[in-house]
Amino acid sequence: MAGTGKHHGGKHHGGKHHGGERNGTVAYVNARLIDPASGMDEPGALVTCDGTIADLGPRLFSDAPPPSVEVVDCRGLILAPGLVDMRTQLREPGEEHKETIGTASAAASAGGISTMICLPNTDPVIDDVAGVEFVARRAREVKATKVFCYAAATVGLAGRELTEMGLLAETGALAFTDGTRAIADSRVMQRALNYARTFGLLIVQHPEDPALAENGVMNSGEMALRLGLRGIPRVAEVMTIERDLRLVEATGGRYHAAHLSTREAVEAIRRAKARELPVTCDTAPPYFTLNETAIGDYRTFARLSPPLRTEEDRDAIVEGLADGTIDAIASDHAPHDQDSKRVPFAQAEDGIVGLETLLPLSLALVHKDRLGMADLIGKLTCGPAGILGLGEGRLRKGAPADLALIDPDKPWRIDPDAFLSKSKNAPWENMPVQGLAMRTVVEGRVLHDRMT
């Protein structure tokens, strides 16, 4: 983890990466404190001691901090909870050439993320106690970003036999999902939701009908026809969600739809929430930042699952975030090596890296006046944490000192070559953005620092 980020041609703002022990007492003064969980958004100070938040508020240190305390002048920047990224693929175990828990932690801390939750589609699949314990052990060894995991909903992600969810939850699995595959069989999904309700657990769905999506590589429509590529119809997403919502109504099980990408899916979730079903959802920056035209001339870095959709869909995702239908924004970090992406479009792997771009791409919603700052930060902190039953994502006395010091207006250009992630597959080359994490703290330990 140790080392110094390099400045590449003015495109990337580097910083120092630390893996040190907990600091003593540190006072963050002259900050804009934003804690969406409590509604706090005001100038103030915060003090950490031995890895926890000792105190915070607008009148703290109204005179001056004690002389023995380390003081960080936040210069009016936002001091918020560290971001909680509820959907990442960390590739360990099994594909460490694409990413590891260590390299992902370095990338996450550069992006202001203090907590990651990883999908179970590793090799071997996280479908037993040993898999959940492996992730916890590796996270302790790396001792950087907090890492939790989902466990598979079905054995081997095969979509047939349910895993031992109760036992896996006791071991530390936060929720249950087949990762990048839909739980397609209606009876299996019904059983999963029933099981989940009995134990108070959450089922997370990749909403895409596999029969409709089979062999598809981009959004169906005029552009797919012009490029000669097999399309994935937009209805594949909403059909799966609407079926699942019927099963939620029948079972009472808690349900979360991942990475929404279509207008109809947002509308279906909105209706379900109006009926007070136990339903939540998230999306990812590509779905409110890009549309299918980003594929251009067969750009494999813009191949995702679900695929980039139409401009109408992109706008509906923004609207869903603005009106509260969409509860959280996740990076949907999916690292791939060059060999997986620099191939013909139809043969390329799905997904892009997202840890270091989650914050600036999301802040565009604030800069374009579609979301308020506190609302946006809520979708990156207490929103996902609350869905998963985590105490993280909040600024409160006695809580772990997981912090992100954010300059929301800092201009820079995205340079994937400068990413700390092992993989560089992102379609944002040279894109101008505003907003950067200036310091990331996990349990009092400074993991990334651009303030000096």
pLDDT at residue 6 is higher than 60? no
The CATH number linked to 104 is 3.20.20.140
pLDDT tens profile 162-215: 999 999 999 999 999 999 999 999 999 999 999 999 999 999 999 999 999 999
| Positive or negative: CA dihedral 360, 364, 367, 369 | negative
DSSP 300-358: GGG--SSPP--HHHHHHHHHHHHTTSS-EE---B----HHHHSS-GGGSPP----TTTH
Q: How confident is the model at residue 207, as a pLDDT? A: 98
393, part of any domain:
no
Does 260 lie in the same domain as 118? yes
369, part of any domain:
yes
394, part of any domain:
no
Does 95 lie in the same domain as 8? no
Alpha carbon distance 201, 407 (integer Å)? 37
Q: How confident is the model at residue 68, as a pLDDT? A: 84
The CATH number linked to 12 is 2.30.40.10
Does 227 lie in the same domain as 196? yes
pLDDT at residue 382 is higher than 50? yes
Does 111 lie in the same domain as 74? no
Alpha carbon distance 107, 109 (integer Å)? 6
Does 148 lie in the same domain as 7? no
pLDDT at residue 1 is higher than 70? no
Within 13 Å, how many C-alpha atoms sit on residue 283's CB side?
33
87, part of any domain:
yes
| Positive or negative: CA dihedral 282, 126, 109, 355 | negative
Does 346 lie in the same domain as 406? no
Mean pLDDT in the chain? 94
The pLDDT confidence band at residue 18, using thresholds 50, 70 and 90, is low
pLDDT tens profile 230-261: 999 999 999 999 999 999 999 999 999 999 99
Active-site position among 85, 332, 402, 415: 332
| Positive or negative: CA dihedral 342, 345, 348, 350 | positive
Q: Which of 341, 360, 387 is the last residue of a domain?
A: 387
Q: Do 239 and 206 touch, CB atoms closer than 8 A?
A: no
Does 139 lie in the same domain as 63? no
Written as six digits, the tokens of 451 are 């303030």
Give the domain extent around 18.
Answer: 3-79+399-449
Q: How confident is the model at residue 17, as a pLDDT? A: 55
Does 150 lie in the same domain as 248? yes
pLDDT at residue 11 is higher than 70? no
Q: Indicate the number of domains in the chain.
A: 2
Does 379 lie in the same domain as 294? yes
> CA distances (Å), 98 to each of 21, 135, 335, 341, 394, in order?
28, 17, 6, 12, 31
Written as six digits, the tokens of 447 are 């993991």
pLDDT tens profile 427-443: 999 999 999 999 999 99
> Residue 304's beta-bridge partner residues?
none
392, part of any domain:
no
pLDDT tens profile 349-363: 999 999 999 999 999
> CA distances (Å), 413 to each of 278, 297, 417, 438, in order?
40, 23, 12, 16
Active site residue 313: no
The pLDDT confidence band at residue 20, using thresholds 50, 70 and 90, is very low
Alpha carbon distance 125, 140 (integer Å)? 20
